[in-house]
Amino acid sequence: MTRHAKLELNGTETELPVVVGTEAEVGIDISKLRARTGAVTLDPSFANTAACESAITYIDGERGILRYRGYDIADLANHASFPEVCHLLIHGRLPTRPEREEFRHRLTRHTLVHEDMKLFFEGLPHSAHPMVILSSMIAALSAYYPEDDTPEEIDLNIIRLLAKAKTLAAFAYKKSKGQPFIYPKNDLSYLQNFLRMLFAIPAEPYVVNPVVQSALNKLLILHADHEQNCSTTTVRTVGSSGANLYASISAGVSALWGRLHGGANQAVIEMLETIRDDGANYRKYIELTKSKDSDFRLMGFGHRVYKNFDPRALILKKAADEVLESLGVEDPLLDIAKQLEEVALADDYFIERKLYPNVDFYSGVIYRAMGIPTDMFTVMFALGRLPGWIAHWLEQRNTPGARIVRPRQIYVGETARPWVELDDR
Ligand SMILES: CC(C)(COP(=O)(O)OP(=O)(O)OC[C@H]1O[C@@H](n2cnc3c(N)ncnc32)[C@H](O)[C@@H]1OP(=O)(O)O)[C@@H](O)C(=O)NCCC(=O)NCCS
């Protein structure tokens, strides 16, 4: 039996269908609300709005649950490889052994970028943030691989994007260092290739450190999707206009860049460095956060959805200890991060607002230990998030009857007024 919610407006009752998801999440379908009542709903920043039905990722923020296509994030982080997770998110299931080999093979064969694209890099200043390079270069891919609407061509473009984005990301890093670009090698795996393109120099042999490879695998998996966050919503919105894959994902990269989203991992390290340089006085910064006169926020803390704990942060806290120990790295920033967390979690301000460390709180410490520079952190996040964005772009595109995203507004500006001649203003 279809359930309904009742809404009374101006004395008239309207029944609205209730939609229940596979995890018993309840939504009130208001898609016909305006047609029936003339009213719209107002939900700035969409904290109460489900923009779509999606079968990709499930989050229960109260219970700290995150699953991709039904698989628990901890299982995936501990057992899967990042390309397997890409396959899972995009195709909806874990690959069989032959499918996995075929997928890996294709990801390897499409790693090179068109030689002409190197000219773009020459035109950019050395100081360019790698996120602007990544976003521009991903958009530029559409000039080399224009979209043709067949499923085969779209599938090929997805492989191209997954394969080439890491080459572009590594080139962006090399550009900032003034070092020569390192080309991919087909006998290396997805992650080995990326690490080699990032860290090798022509003058010396480069051997991938398995600890670094395994940490990177975990980090990319933990970032691979997070349902309707700001950047994914951007990708779906841009895609809803019919924009091609590269253009839509490039928009997602730009959305991710902000400090309240993917840019938080860079902001966390900068905050920890500030605290370290201020005599590691972390209590002062906790107080600053709470002060009404300051707009300082504890970066890497808080989440729109997680109100108990972020399961990714738990995994990364443990991983940070393991990675730093295996690499023999001692980083005072990790100690400051742990002290901040301990004090914050016992503080009423954070308890009342349900603020917990999020995925970005410990990821930066691990990236630092791996030798990845701070301004590359958000690029690493973007590489991890690619399969999620792609899966959502595809899901949006393949939803029967999907319409262009076009919210309404409640206009609060001037009402109609007469034109005023220039001399009379
Ligand atoms: C993630 C984030 C953007 C979510 O924002 P949101 O759901 O819109 O939550 P709000 O901004 O409404 O915050 C609710 C309250 O908690 C406080 N708060 C939220 N995050 C905080 C933080 N990191 N440090 C201190 N206070 C914080 C807000 O000041 C607000 O307090 P108030 O009710 O007294 O005004 C926000 O928690 C944040 O800015 N975190 C830091 C950036 C970050 O780590 N981003 C990565 C997310 S994965």
**Residue 360 designated active-site:** yes
Locate all alpha helices (DSSP H) within 145-209, ordered by sequence: 151-177, 190-199
Ligand 1 centre and the CA of 233: distance in Å? Answer: 19
Kind of pairing between the strands at 65-68 and 57-60: antiparallel
pLDDT tens-digit profile of 265-318? 989 999 999 999 999 888 899 999 999 899 899 999 999 899 888 999 999 999
Structure letter (DSSP) for residue 258: S
415 Cβ contact partners less than 8 Å away, ≥ 6 residues apart? none
Q: Is the CB of 351 under 6 A from ligand 1?
A: no
The protein residue with its alpha carbon nearest to ligand 1, atom 16, reads 353
- The pLDDT value recorded for residue 325 is 92
Q: Give Cα 332 to chain centroid, integer Å.
A: 27
The protein residue with its alpha carbon nearest to ligand 1, atom 37, reads 302
Handedness of CA 288, 293, 295, 301 (dihedral sign): positive
Other C-beta atoms closer than 10 Å to the C-beta of 374 total 16
Ramachandran category for residue 174: left, alpha or beta (phi over 0 → left; psi -120 to 50 → alpha): alpha
Structure letter (DSSP) for residue 281: -
Residue 147 has pLDDT above 90, yes or no: no
Burial of 231-261, coded b for 16+ CB within 10 Å and e otherwise, reads bbbbbbbbbbeebbbbbbbbbbbbbbbebeb
pLDDT tens-digit profile of 215-251? 999 999 999 999 999 999 999 999 999 999 999 999 9
Residue 1 has pLDDT above 70, yes or no: no
9 Cβ contact partners less than 8 Å away, ≥ 6 residues apart? 37, 39
Active site residue: 110, 303, 310, 392, which one? 303
Contact 254, 134 (CB under 8 A): no
Amino acid at 44: P
Average pLDDT estimate for 207-213: 94
224 Cβ contact partners less than 8 Å away, ≥ 6 residues apart? 68, 82, 85, 86, 89, 384, 385, 387, 388
Q: Is the CB of 158 under 6 A from ligand 1?
A: no
pLDDT tens-digit profile of 62-102? 999 999 999 999 999 999 999 999 999 999 999 999 999 99
**Residue 347 designated active-site:** no
Separation of alpha carbons 154 and 106, rounded Å: 14
pLDDT tens-digit profile of 15-42? 999 999 999 999 999 999 999 999 999 9
Q: Look at the block and give the residue holding tokens 């262009």.
A: 404
The protein residue with its alpha carbon nearest to ligand 1, atom 9, reads 304
Ligand 1 centre and the CA of 354: distance in Å? Answer: 10
- Strands (DSSP E) contained in 196-242 are none
Kind of pairing between the strands at 4-9 and 71-72: unpaired
Residue 262 CA, closest ligand 1 atom number: 46
- The pLDDT value recorded for residue 232 is 98
Select from 66, 353, 359 the residue to mutate for testing ligand 1; criterion: most ligand atoms less than 8 Å from CB: 353
The protein residue with its alpha carbon nearest to ligand 1, atom 34, reads 353
**Which tokens is 214 given?**
């395994």
Q: Give Cα 164 to chain centroid, integer Å.
A: 18
| pLDDT > 90 fraction of the chain, expressed in percent and rounded | 86
Contact 195, 216 (CB under 8 A): yes
Residue 148 has pLDDT above 90, yes or no: no
CATH number of 72-251+376-398: 1.10.580.10
Q: Which secondary structure element, helix H or strand E, spans residue 78, and what is its range?
A: helix 73-79
Residue 125 has pLDDT above 70, yes or no: yes
